Structure 1
Amino acid sequence: MATQVHEASDEDMYRLFEICSLAFAHNEPFFDACWPLHWTEAGRKQGGERFKEINNTDPNNTFLKAVDSTGNIIGMAKWNVYTGTIPDFEKQDRERKDYWDDPLENQYVKELQDGFVQERRAAIVRNKGHVVSLDILAIDPSSQRQGAGGSLVGWGLKKADEMGVNTVVESSVFGKGLYVKNGFVFKKDVELEVSERFADRPKSRFAWLERPKRA
């Protein structure tokens, strides 16, 4: 039986975050900064709780799980579906929470997040609140190349085609091949800018891709 994709429940959130932690490891400075100590049990527990909170408070998001033939969750995705409403971005910024004990680390995360959301927010406004956005996708490293990634991407593309809207994604620079394969067009690489006091930190980058709406 092929990989199946289902909407995730609150009970799945710890496993979904664990998959993200395993998949991103320490290869993405942005992920390390935004999810404190995600490689530890305490960090993964906090991450799962944050996923659960997002799942219950953000009306635009859908968490998905990819399940193999034995019933194990081997992949996850979080899609944001905007149906004509532009979020209050200023309110979102005000309501961001701090998760590091060190205020300096929280400021670093804020600067990274400010840069990360710019392309997506511009796309939401440009499309007048009608757009589908892939926020995150991860596959357990032990279960990669089994089709789970394509199945998770396909869920969002089907939704976008039903709505007749564009689809956007911030991809890791090395992971954009999956999206190009599924009809996304690479637009540019983006390096997140931070203030001079963080100039010695590892650079955070992503690839911005868009998939035009289907006729």
Structure 2
Amino acid sequence: MPFQISPLLESDTAAFARAEAAAAENWPYAQAMKTAGTPRHIFVEEWARKQIGADKTVHWLKATDTETGELVGAALWKIPDGGAAEMGQADVPVQATALTPADKKADAGGIRHNGGSPDEMEDMGGNAALFASTEKMWRAFEAEYIGTRPYALLQLLLTHPDHQRRGAGTMLVRWGCERADAAGLMCALSSSAAGQKVYTQQGFEIVVEEEYDLKPYGVDAVEVRRRMIRPAKSAAR
């Protein structure tokens, strides 16, 4: 395997922030996050350092190149204790199943964020109004399509541009899907066009598309987000 999935530690936050900044460089939503001239990676590093370990249901993961040790991707999976009390960080590192050529082709990389309160995301150098709007749209989707059912949420997925289409993103997505399956949980996420294919190959289905008008936040762009759900599998016996 070219990559290993393991917990992202506080000592990894600088590398994580650099990878996140590279992945988000051309992302309009990221451009709407006001940083007052401070490099984005500094805000992201400080945010990650504060958040790692703060919520025991959020699993911070990294994908590292097994030859160089370089951090090439990362993910945040939020898996509720009610459905996955036994699935902690001790479950990683893992030996992922083999990636097919189709997996690697689908793994376009990039970045996506989902969830997080406006106050938490403000620590990331963001625009509180932007994040409040994002959170409101997600909660409306959650209320209509998920309801009160527990689910595993892929909050963030990123792959460094230099390592896209090599399968790291697929491994990070599969990590959470396998644990959700073991607990009989559905999965949900919000996807850009770039990330859609890797998610559909792991069983996610688009249920609704929504637009973010970023003009009120200083960026002349409208971003389409695809809300996706992966149905719950039967819990392993």
Q: 1:32 and 2:26 equivalent?
A: no
The equivalent of 1:5 in structure 2 is 5
Root mean square deviation of aligned Cα:
3.1
What TM-score, normalized by structure 1, do the two folds share? 0.79
- Using the TM superposition, give the Cα deviation of residue 11 of structure 1 relative to its aligned residue in structure 2, in angstroms: 1.0
The equivalent of 2:188 in structure 1 is 168
Q: 1:177 and 2:197 equivalent?
A: yes
- Using the TM superposition, give the Cα deviation of residue 93 of structure 1 relative to its aligned residue in structure 2, in angstroms: 5.0
Alignment of 1:59-208 (within 5 A): 59-69=56-66, 70-84=68-82, 95-96=119-120, 98=122, 105-120=127-142, 125-127=147-149, 130-192=150-212, 201-208=220-227
- Using the TM superposition, give the Cα deviation of residue 146 of structure 1 relative to its aligned residue in structure 2, in angstroms: 1.3
Give yes or no for contact 2:32–2:218 (8 Å, CA) kept in 1: no
C-alpha separation between the residues in 2 aligned to 1:67 and 1:144? 13
Give yes or no for contact 2:63–2:172 (8 Å, CA) kept in 1: yes
Q: 1:170 to 1:197 in 2, by over 3 A?
A: closer
- Using the TM superposition, give the Cα deviation of residue 171 of structure 1 relative to its aligned residue in structure 2, in angstroms: 0.9
Secondary structure of the corresponding residue to residue 80 of structure 2: strand
C-alpha separation between the residues in 2 aligned to 1:9 and 1:34? 25
Q: Deviations over 1:39-87 (max 9, x none)?
A: x7732111111012121322321110001122111111111111339xx
Q: Pick from 54, 57, 78: which aligns with 1:57?
A: 54
Mark the runs of 5 or more structure 1 residues left unpaired by the alignment: 86-91
What TM-score, normalized by structure 2, do the two folds share? 0.72
Give yes or no for contact 2:43–2:123 (8 Å, CA) kept in 1: no
Q: Deviations over 1:105-160 (max 9, x none)?
A: 54344334432454346666431xx2101011111111111110111011101110
C-alpha separation between the residues in 2 aligned to 1:67 and 1:199? 35
Give yes or no for contact 1:99–1:106 (8 Å, CA) kept in 2: no
- Using the TM superposition, give the Cα deviation of residue 173 of structure 1 relative to its aligned residue in structure 2, in angstroms: 2.5
C-alpha separation between the residues in 2 aligned to 1:35 and 1:121? 29
Mark the runs of 5 or more structure 2 residues left unpaired by the alignment: 84-115
C-alpha separation between the residues in 2 aligned to 1:101 and 1:31? 10
Range with greater deviation from structure 2 (72-81 or 199-208)? 199-208
Identity of aligned residues (%): 21
- How many residues align? The count is 201
For residue 111 of structure 1, what is the amino acid of its counterpart? S
C-alpha separation between the residues in 2 aligned to 1:137 and 1:118? 22
C-alpha separation between the residues in 1 aligned to 2:218 and 2:49? 33
Secondary structure of the corresponding residue to residue 232 of structure 2: coil
Give yes or no for contact 1:62–1:78 (8 Å, CA) kept in 2: yes
Q: Pick from 40, 43, 65: which aligns with 1:43?
A: 40
Secondary structure of the corresponding residue to residue 79 of structure 2: strand
Q: 1:117 to 1:21 in 2, by over 3 A?
A: farther
For residue 42 of structure 2, what is the amino acid of its counterpart? K
C-alpha separation between the residues in 2 aligned to 1:47 and 1:68? 22
Q: 1:133 to 1:108 in 2, by over 3 A?
A: closer
Give yes or no for contact 1:35–1:43 (8 Å, CA) kept in 2: no
